[in-house]
Amino acid sequence: MPETKTKAKKSSRKKSDALAEHGISDELALELMRDMLLYRRFEEKAEEGYAIGKIGGFCHLHIGQEAGAAGSIKPLRDDDYVMSAYREHTQALAKGVHPNAVMAELYGRKDGSSGGKGGSMHIFDADCRFMGGHGIVGGQVPLATGIAWKIKYRGEETVSLVFMGDAAVNQGGFHEALNMAAVWNLPAIYVVENNEYGMGTAFSRVSRTDMSTKAVPYGIPSHTVDGQDVLACYAFFRDLADKVRHGAGPQFVDLQTYRFRGHSMSDPVSGTYRSVEEVLQAKEERDPIALLRDTLMEAGVLDQETLEEMDAEARQVSLDAADFAEASPPPGPEALYANVWAEINPNGRLFFDRRPESEEAS
Amino acid sequence: MAVMTYREALNEALREEMERDPDVFLMGEEVAEYDGAYKVSKGLLEEFGEQRIVDSPISELGFTGLGVGAAMAGLRPVIEFMTFNFAFLAIDQVINSAAKMYYMSEGQFPMPIVFRGPTGAALQLSAQHSQACETYYSHAPGCKVVTPGTPADAKGLLKAAIRDNDPVAFMEGESLYNFKGEVPDDDDFVIPLGVADLKHEGGDVSLITHGKMIHVALQAAQKLEKDGIHADVLDLRTIRPLDMDAILESVKKTNRAVYLEEGWPYAGTGAQIVSMIQEEAFDDLDAPIIRVTQADVPMPYAKNLEMLAKPSANHVIEAVNKVLYR
């Protein structure tokens, strides 16, 4: 359950119509609730882990943005590709990466999704087709375009969906990638998780044009979606992915959302760049979990008892993940030099510090 | 042995590898309809079609990243830079994405991709178009660097680079494309990465070099012969992996060495190799090792200044005389 019990703003439409309108079954709606509760509790557990020094480095939480992960990834097929930037823990969970593997990665442990070598910003799972976890703003956009290239090259019917923050649209690689995707009609879905701030810089301070215009010069259809409404997101991405896998070409989505925590763990919740009131108001009015709760309760699909059961389960899974991470050993020293190279050529030296050599000798 | 140009050798390597593996494709500026800025991909569009020989927009960062993403998903891209001078725009994707992906995913995503194109100076192209770029790439663990100096090496090493499962910066020479040489007729002529080649044998001094500088070294060696000095000219062929055994073998024989490279001295390839030789063969050295490099300035345009800036056979001979205390 979100911290606030305040009801979301009343919509003029009857909420019980929302499920039918989006073609979402009661079961699916409850599953989305369960997923978002897990993402929230998981991130809170990560926050706690960071506070007590179990997690180091940079750690960017997704709290407040859960509907974007569930609503865009859950409608995809298992063989669709998802790539993201560095605020990606919950997106990895949504694509099927096990919470234990994600938490163990945050802890820097052997059983982490990258064996403890990637950390919070580099969650990968080839089997789930979760393609990372990339730390350079916008750097993943050309990469995901290359995945879309491969899909078209091989004539497959999958899609490549990539997340980026709003700041990424000011990077050159974003524009180069979108241009190529349009020219070659690639099955790529570019999703801007527009939480209004690139770190501490409001988007309006670094762009004279609106987000919805950014893909227009390339002839790419642009869509604006309420990223706090998981039902609307789900329905939108279900239909969009279907079109893209059947040749509609690249798409651009302005997924409007809001971050309830600081940019990273070193940034206070509101920081110097936004007011406490602004954050509180967003939490009251735009909490995706509270919004879905109200919709489902009003529709009679969810009652308080079930919600509490679901929440207890989410807390348990997160706790189990933390316990799993804690129990997992750190990577052994032999991991330091492992997987630098996919192919150790039989001739010549690849390492220049001579340490692997001396270790072999010892 | 067939005699062909360096350009034709590269073209053959590309053709053969594309015939061999349908996952190999070539992307870059002007590679398709124009036949390649330096005609390396001549005729390939006709043979393989626009799906596999792909003209990109002038977007180095974008199409390099696209290639890296395609490699993550299982293809084997060959990304052509019109020259490596333009690849500075793309180096984020080479170093931060390609070279690190396998490690930071703990081995989940091998990165079989080749970045190729000419490096170094040609003639009077001035500062932004005349620089040797290999050390930018060899600096990063996860990136292999190959610098062929002859048609045979170009063919055999490009085939090996395309088959390798790691990112390879494959650095050619603009002034080498018309250079002719013998190339073995084997159906499948592959030179493994990490094997240096003794291009000229002598016992008095080791001239160690790579890429197009082998020709400067050979010219110097020929002149030195007339003076009764016999030099080993050791062509490293690949900077990473590095055939240190061959370097040590030559140095232990001659006890004197000169490193010749086209790039700048600071943290150049020679700096690395000199450091390793002194560490691993100190007692075999009879003189300090001297490096011959480009002058430590951006490349000037004026013909006379460019000549002064580039490492020449005379610079090499001077260095040899120094290490021989002549």
Q: Which long-range contacts (CB under 8 A, 24 or more apart) does B314-319 make?
A: B314/B220, B316/B207, B316/B216, B316/B217, B316/B220, B316/B258, B316/B260, B316/B292, B317/B220, B317/B223, B317/B224, B319/B258, B319/B290, B319/B291, B319/B292
pLDDT of residue A265: 86
pLDDT at A359 over 80: no
**pLDDT bracket for residue A268 (50, 70, 90):** confident
Average pLDDT over residues B222-226: 98
CA-to-CA dists, residue B89 to A145, B60, B61, B93, B96, angstroms: 18, 6, 6, 9, 13
Query: Stretch B12-39: mean pLDDT, rounded?
Result: 97
Q: How would you class A247 by CB atoms within 10 Å of its CB: exposed for 0-12, middle for 13-18, buried for 19 or more?
A: exposed
Q: Where in chain B is the domain with CATH 3.40.50.920?
A: 197-323
Residue A14 pLDDT > 60, yes or no?
no
Report whether pLDDT(A64) > 60: yes
Q: Catalogue the E-assigned strands of B2-62.
A: 2-5, 24-28, 53-55
The yes-or-no verdict on residue A135 having pLDDT over 80 is yes
Average pLDDT, rounded, for chain B:
97
Q: Please give the helix or strand (H or E) that residue B172 lies within, else none.
A: strand B168-173
Please work out, in degrees rounded to the nearest 5, the angle formed at the alpha carbon of residue A264 by the alpha carbons of A261 and A266.
105
pLDDT tens digits for range B252-264: 999 999 999 999 9
| The CATH fold of domain B197-323 | Rossmann fold (3.40.50)
- pLDDT tens per residue across span A195-220: 999 999 999 999 999 999 999 999 99
Q: Cβ neighbours of residue A13 under 8 Å, at least 6 residues apart? A: A21
Within chain B, how many helices (H) and strands (E) appear? 12, 14
Mean per-residue pLDDT, A130-159: 97
**Contact yes or no for B67 and A146 at CB 8 A:** yes
Active site residue B200: no
Contacts of B51 in chain A (CB under 8 A): 153
Interface test with chain A among B86, B106, B234, B247, by most A beta carbons within 10 Å: B106
Q: Has residue A6 got a pLDDT over 80?
A: no
Where in chain B are all domains bearing CATH 3.40.50.970?
2-183
Mean pLDDT of A116-121: 96
DSSP A202-260: EHHHH-SS-GGGTTGGGT--EEEEETT-HHHHHHHHHHHHHHHHTT---EEEEEE---S
Other CB atoms within a 10 A radius of the CB of residue B50 amount to 11
Q: Can you read off the two tokens belonging to residue B157?
A: 């090493």
Checking if the pLDDT of A361 tops 60, the result is no
**Minimal-distance CA residue of chain A relative to B138:** A350
- B29 vs A: CB within 8 A: no
Cβ of B166 and A145 within 8 Å? no
Q: What is the pLDDT of residues A95-110, one digit of tens each?
A: 999 999 999 999 999 9
Q: At what angle do helices A304-327 and A288-298 cross, to 10 degrees?
A: 150
Tokens encoding A89: 């823990």
Which residue from B minimizes the CA distance to A174? B62
Q: Sorting pLDDT into bands at 50, 70 and 90, what band is A360?
A: low
The residues with which A83 forms a beta bridge, in sequence order, are A162
Q: Which residues 264-323 in chain B show a CB within 8 A of chain A?
A: 272, 276
Q: How confident is the model at residue A16 (pLDDT cuts 50, 70, 90)?
A: low
- Quote helix, strand, coil % in chain B, to nearest 5: 40, 20, 40
Q: What is the pLDDT of residues B42-75, one digit of tens each?
A: 999 999 999 999 999 999 999 999 999 999 999 9
Distance in angstroms (rounded) separating the CA atoms of residues B15 and B36: 14
CATH topology of domain B2-183: Rossmann fold (3.40.50)
Q: Is B129 a catalytic residue?
A: yes
Tell me the average pLDDT across B150-172.
Answer: 98
Alpha helices in chain A (DSSP H): 17-22, 26-51, 66-73, 89-94, 99-106, 140-154, 172-183, 203-206, 230-245, 276-285, 288-298, 304-327, 355-361
Give dist(CA B211, CA B176) in Å, integer: 9
Query: Does residue B61 belong to the interface with chain A, where contact is any CB pair within 8 Å?
Result: yes
Measured between CA atoms, how close is B61 to chain A, in angstroms? 6
Interfacial B residues in 126-165 facing A (CB < 8 Å): 141-142, 144, 164-165
Higher pLDDT, A68 or A359: A68
Q: State which residue of chain B sits closest to A83, comparing Cα positions.
A: B69
Contact A338 B107 (CB under 8 A): yes
How far does chain B reach from its first CA to its final CA, in angstroms? 41
pLDDT band of A7, cuts 50, 70, 90: very low
pLDDT over 50 (residue A8)? no
- The DSSP line for B11-22 is HHHHHHHHHH-T
Kindly list the structural domains of chain A, giving each domain's residue range(s) and its CATH number in brackets, ordered by start: 17-361 (3.40.50.970)
Query: How far is B320 from B206, CA to CA, in rounded Å?
Result: 9
**Which residue in B has a C-alpha nearest to residue A139's C-alpha?**
B93
Q: Three-class SS of residue B182? A: strand
Facing B61 at nearest CB: one of A142, A183, A341: A142
CA dist B298 and B309 (Å) reads 9
pLDDT band for position A9 (cuts 50, 70, 90): very low
How close A132 comes to chain B (CA, Å)?
A: 8
pLDDT at B2 over 60: yes
- In the set B8, B12, B16, B60, the catalytic residue is B60
Q: Which of B30, B129, B249, B280 is catalytic?
A: B129
pLDDT digits (tens, 9 = 90+) for A74-89: 999 999 999 999 999 9
Report pLDDT for A177.
98
B269-309, pLDDT tens digit by residue?
Answer: 999 999 999 999 999 999 999 999 999 999 999 999 999 99
User: Nearest CA to CA, how far is A147 from chain B (Å)?
Assistant: 5
Phi, psi of B92 (to 5 degrees): -60, -45
Give the residue among B207, B138, B193 at the shortest CA–CA distance from B160: B193
Q: Do B75 and A150 touch (CB under 8 A)?
A: yes
Does residue B19 carry a pLDDT above 60?
Answer: yes
CA proximity to A192, closest of A265, A246, A129, A140: A140
Cα–chain center distance at B156: 13
- List pLDDT tens digits, range B103-126: 999 999 999 999 999 999 999 999
Contacts of B243 in chain A (CB under 8 A): 347-349
Question: Would an 8 Å CB–CB cutoff place B209 in contact with chain A?
Answer: no
Neighbouring CB atoms inside 10 A of A284's CB total: 17
| Residue A361 burial (CB count, 10 A) | 7
Across the interface, whether the CB atoms of B69 and A144 are under 8 A apart is answered: yes
Q: What is the average pLDDT score of chain A?
A: 93
CB-CB under 8 Å, B63 with A176 = yes
* Contact at CB, A348 and B195, closer than 8 angstroms: yes
* B195 CB within 8 Å of a chain A CB: yes
A172: burial class by Cβ within 10 Å (0-12, 13-18, 19+)?
middle
Query: Chain A residue closest to B93 (CA)?
Result: A139
